[in-house]
Chain A
Amino acid sequence: MPDLVRMSSIPRHAFFGYWQKVTLILLGVTMACFYWADTEIIALEPWSELQRIALGFLSPDFLATEYLLEAVWQTISFALLGVAAGLLLGAPVALFYNKPLVAAACAFIRSIHELFWALLFLQVFGLSPLTGVLAIALPYGATFARVFSDILQQAPVYTLQNLPANTDKVSRYIYGRFAHVMNEIKAYVRYRFECALRSSAILGFVGMPTLGFYLESAFRQGHYHQGAALLILFIIMIGSIPYWCRAKLLPLYFIAAVWLLPDITTIDGSLVWRFLSDDILPPMFQSHSIDLLFNDKWRLFAQWLYDIVTEQALPGILATVLLAVAALGFSYLLALLMTTFSFKPLTGAFITRLNNFILLILRSIPEYILAYIFMLLLGPSMLPAIIALAIHNGALVAYLTARQSSTTTFSQHFNGKIDGYAYDILPRIYPNMMALLFYRFEVILRETAILGMLGVATLGFYIDSNFSEIRFNGALVLIGATALLNILIDIASRKLLVNGSLSHKPC
């Protein structure tokens, strides 16, 4: 990180360095967004409902869910196949990621939430496992492409320079670059598998036969004993990944995943064609639309588009950005706090272990459920959504930072106190934490979609409305708006974060 070192080592800026500036700007923007966001707290009587939720967690009912083992297995299986297919798609694309068009296409694919991919694929593949696997594979593939390309760029070049001149391209690539970063890529794929388990569960929300199918129904309908059991099971599943997800067992799992996949219904070509040639066209261009003069069609189209943009896209974008930025700022505060707690030499073994356990729970509970609990406590403003996103993502960033900084060497003079931590340790892990946080922004932006389904009028809210009104054309316009927003933010954050001075382990 040459830029970084240079910047923070200029003496007269020593106190007010690069990271201080970035942090202050982040906090300033957060405050502004928080101010403009709707954060009204409404006095309530949530206790009887909260009591029911608490009782559910005190006596979880593991037998209330039908076909439970099947749901657990399908959650794993969709995640596994999704990641595998994502690797097949993403790894080759990583080599061309420096082409702006490729990068933009990947940003476009990534910007659409797995749930919306699933809703789109549902229209053409129906409730087939293909829908679920593709809904994970596509956005994950696009993420792999970007991350692998970032990691590869950081690979040292000395081996490459020392290879004999007549070495062929493939060998040069494999031995010169890939070999250097193989471990890092493996670690990243392992981390993405955990994410994929979460995604896979969430796909249950739209009908895939994973844990989320039952989890969502149980919480939505107030069957908290059942919901708590499912949530506990899910957290155990995530927490125990290192025990059951061994490299040697993977081929076995993989064969089982393919073997036990639910029946793939025959793909009906006419459905695909109908979706592409008719469903997604604006109403006035659809085959069953009333015959209009050509000019009228275009006038109606302009009106239709104008209505969607002004009534849904623009308010949606505003709410999405306010919510996401406010959540980013609070994620930062939480991540900072929890990273500190998980630094063993400072807080001791017990607190570290407790903190790691809390991090596991917080990052595994779907934001959707957190938001509902906070909504009962605080009322239906944006606040519950902000807090839910902040908790989930703050915990994730803290977990990743802690994992990566556990190997950071600190000076012999570290005094084991908070000032030592602040002046010695934190500056070493800070850039990494900030990098993780900013990469996470993209995810936060995408996750506002789920909270939209809870009633916060983000872009996701309007997309969901369009899907439920069976207006795929409107949904597509809004998905396009989401993607555009994401690409703009992607470009902006890349410019802001001085060419790669921010490190290389995104999430």
Chain B
Amino acid sequence: MFAIKPLISMFVLLFAPSLLAATFTFTAIPDEDESQLRTRFDKVAVYLEEKLGVEVKYVPVKSYSAAVTAFRNNQVQLAWFGGLSGVQARRLVPGSDAIAQGYEDQFFKSYFIAHHSTEIIADDSFPNLNGYTFTFGSKDSTSGRLMPQFFIERNLGKRPEDIFKRIGFSGDHSRTIAQVQAGVYQVGAVNYKVWESALAAGKIDLNKVDVIWTTPTYPDYQWTVRAGVDETFGEGFKARVEAALLGMTDTDLLKSFPRKSFVPAENQDYEPIENVAKTIGLID
């Protein structure tokens, strides 16, 4: 019985919260092309190191939820989140702030694409998708899941499972395109930027698959910085991070994301995303 107290203190020592993390760590998953992540983002780390004067490290992650977890657990203090993952992260770590978004993210949109056999004709009004098979992107994607599901529910007045014959989660925008092009699913929703680059790269046969509807614009990717960085890295650190991001003009760095430039953003910009996520039940 007497051994319990020392045991507890040993346990506490062993598992003590990491002392002041001297390294400023960030993570990022681009919305297209995840190859060579470390090579690409290590350059961003070097840039930030120069601007911030502290050691900066990039941690590669595999999914938005992994990025959110790392952010929540203070393993990263800065993250390039999608719209939804940013909202999730800021809810889990109160006091965290969206500080910058991509220029394109102010008016992001998703494309609904359809296989030619459906004979759905592109139109400004929402297509009647009843009875088709449909694939989203990955489950936690803003442009491949959240917003498309919201617009489907709002326009057709039903839950997706009551509309579609079959629902898939392709896991990735490129794969959504490949699957709809092959006719595996008849209709799909995809990040517009990924569609445009695939089109430019000649990966899309417009005779087989084409855009049938474009969503209204919504805010998407943003840089979110964790609460408490000023205490850890010095007064005014957050402002310096923001300045460094907004001042990033090197196209070689920007194309890793890939964005034209970064512009200021704040938490309020993402209220629509949070409301949508609540509406369709992805967050409570």
Residue positions of A touching B, CB distance < 8 A: 42-46, 48-49, 64-67, 122-123, 126-127, 204-207, 209, 213, 216-218, 220-223, 226, 265-272, 283, 375-376, 379-380, 453-455, 464-465, 467-470
Contact B18 A268 (CB under 8 A): yes
A-B contact pairs, 23 of them (CB 8 A): A43-B183, A44-B183, A45-B181, A45-B182, A65-B35, A66-B35, A66-B38, A66-B39, A213-B60, A217-B62, A220-B175, A221-B34, A221-B35, A221-B172, A221-B174, A226-B35, A266-B19, A267-B14, A455-B135, A455-B170, A469-B139, A469-B140, A470-B68
Interchain nearest-CB distance for B228 vs A (Å): 14
Q: Which of B61, B64, B182, B203 gathers the greatest number of chain A CB atoms within 10 Å? A: B182
Contact A221 B69 (CB under 8 A): no
Q: Which residues of A contact B73 (CB under 8 A)?
A: 123, 126, 268, 271
Contact A48 B185 (CB under 8 A): no
A223 CA to B69 CA, complexed, in Å: 27
A455 CA to B164 CA, complexed, in Å: 15
Contact B66 A207 (CB under 8 A): yes
Q: A46-B183, A204-B62, A222-B175 are in contact. List 19 more A-B contacts (CB 8 A).
A: A43-B183, A48-B205, A48-B208, A66-B38, A127-B66, A127-B75, A206-B62, A206-B63, A266-B18, A268-B15, A269-B15, A375-B184, A380-B166, A380-B168, A380-B179, A380-B184, A464-B139, A468-B64, A469-B282
Q: Which residues of A contact B6 (CB under 8 A)?
A: none
Closest partner residue, chain B, to A213 (CB atom): B62
Contact A45 B59 (CB under 8 A): no
A107 CA to B73 CA, complexed, in Å: 31
Q: Which residues of B contact A64 (CB under 8 A)?
A: 35
Contact B139 A283 (CB under 8 A): no
Interchain nearest-CB distance for A145 vs B (Å): 26
Q: Which residues of B contact A209 (CB under 8 A)?
A: 60
Contact A220:B174 (CB < 8 A) given known A123-B69, A376-B184: yes
B36: interface (CB < 8 Å) = yes
A226 CA to B69 CA, complexed, in Å: 29
Closest partner residue, chain B, to A289 (CB atom): B284
Q: Which residues of A contact B62 (CB under 8 A)?
A: 204-207, 213, 216-217
A206 CA to B178 CA, complexed, in Å: 23
Q: Which of A205, A379, A469 gathers the greatest number of chain B CB atoms within 10 Å? A: A469
Contact A45:B70 (CB < 8 A) given known A127-B61, A454-B171: no
A45 CA to B171 CA, complexed, in Å: 20
Q: Which residues of B contact A283 (CB under 8 A)?
A: 284
Closest partner residue, chain A, to B19 (CB atom): A266
Closest partner residue, chain B, to A123 (CB atom): B69
Interchain nearest-CB distance for B208 vs A (Å): 6
B22: interface (CB < 8 Å) = no
Contact A269:B11 (CB < 8 A) given known A48-B182, A222-B203: yes
Q: Interface residue tally of chain B, by bracket?
A: 35 or more
Contact A470:B171 (CB < 8 A) given known A44-B184, A206-B66, A223-B35: no
B224: interface (CB < 8 Å) = no
A285 CA to B18 CA, complexed, in Å: 28
State which of A217, A269, A454 has its C-beta within 8 Å of the C-beta of B35.
A217
Residue positions of B touching A, CB distance < 8 A: 11-12, 14-19, 32-39, 59-66, 68-70, 73-75, 88, 92, 133, 135, 138-140, 166, 168-172, 174-175, 178-179, 181-185, 203, 205, 208, 282-284
Interchain nearest-CB distance for B193 vs A (Å): 14
| A-B contacts, CB under 8 A, total | 141
Closest partner residue, chain A, to B140 (CB atom): A468
Interchain nearest-CB distance for B159 vs A (Å): 12
Interchain nearest-CB distance for B215 vs A (Å): 21
A484 CA to B109 CA, complexed, in Å: 43
Interchain nearest-CB distance for A45 vs B (Å): 5
A123 CA to B166 CA, complexed, in Å: 32
A46 CA to B183 CA, complexed, in Å: 7
Contact A470:B92 (CB < 8 A) given known A265-B18, A267-B14, A454-B171: yes
Q: Which residues of A contact B284 (CB under 8 A)?
A: 283
State which of A44, A66, A122 has its C-beta within 8 Å of the C-beta of B36.
A66
Closest partner residue, chain B, to A205 (CB atom): B62
Q: Give the top 10 A-B pairs by smallest Cβ distance, nearest first.
A: A269-B15, A266-B18, A207-B62, A44-B183, A468-B140, A455-B168, A46-B182, A220-B172, A217-B34, A126-B75
Contact A265 B75 (CB under 8 A): yes
A31 CA to B82 CA, complexed, in Å: 45
Contact A122:B182 (CB < 8 A) given known A265-B18, A268-B17, A465-B139: no
Interchain nearest-CB distance for B76 vs A (Å): 9
Q: Which residues of B contact A206 (CB under 8 A)?
A: 62-63, 66
Contact B183 A468 (CB under 8 A): no
A283 CA to B284 CA, complexed, in Å: 9
Q: Which residues of A contact B171 (CB under 8 A)?
A: 220, 453-455
Contact A45:B208 (CB < 8 A) given known A206-B63, A218-B35, A455-B170: yes
Contact A122:B69 (CB < 8 A) given known A45-B182, A268-B17: yes
Contact B18 A469 (CB under 8 A): no
A217 CA to B63 CA, complexed, in Å: 10
A269 CA to B182 CA, complexed, in Å: 49
Contact B66 A221 (CB under 8 A): no
A264 CA to B162 CA, complexed, in Å: 47
Closest partner residue, chain B, to A124 (CB atom): B73
Contact B15 A42 (CB under 8 A): no
Q: Which residues of B contact A44 (CB under 8 A)?
A: 182-184
Q: Which residues of A contact B32 (CB under 8 A)?
A: 221
Interchain nearest-CB distance for B96 vs A (Å): 15
Q: Which residues of B contact A205 (CB under 8 A)?
A: 62
State which of A42, A226, A269 has its C-beta within 8 Å of the C-beta of B16.
A269
Q: Which residues of A contact B74 (CB under 8 A)?
A: 268
A209 CA to B62 CA, complexed, in Å: 10
Q: Which residues of B contact A213 (CB under 8 A)?
A: 60, 62
Interchain nearest-CB distance for A342 vs B (Å): 34
Q: Which residues of B contact A453 (CB under 8 A)?
A: 171
State which of B14, B15, B75, B175 has its C-beta within 8 Å of the C-beta of A221.
B175
Q: Which of B12, B92, B179 gathers the greatest number of chain A CB atoms within 10 Å? A: B179
A122 CA to B66 CA, complexed, in Å: 8
Contact B185 A380 (CB under 8 A): yes
A226 CA to B66 CA, complexed, in Å: 24
Contact B61 A269 (CB under 8 A): no
A267 CA to B75 CA, complexed, in Å: 11
Q: Which residues of A contact B65 (CB under 8 A)?
A: 467-470
Q: Which residues of B contact A465 (CB under 8 A)?
A: 139
Closest partner residue, chain B, to A268 (CB atom): B17
A414 CA to B167 CA, complexed, in Å: 54
Interchain nearest-CB distance for A315 vs B (Å): 11
Q: Which residues of B contact A269 (CB under 8 A)?
A: 11-12, 14-17
Interchain nearest-CB distance for A385 vs B (Å): 12
Closest partner residue, chain B, to A209 (CB atom): B60
Q: Which residues of A contact B36 (CB under 8 A)?
A: 66
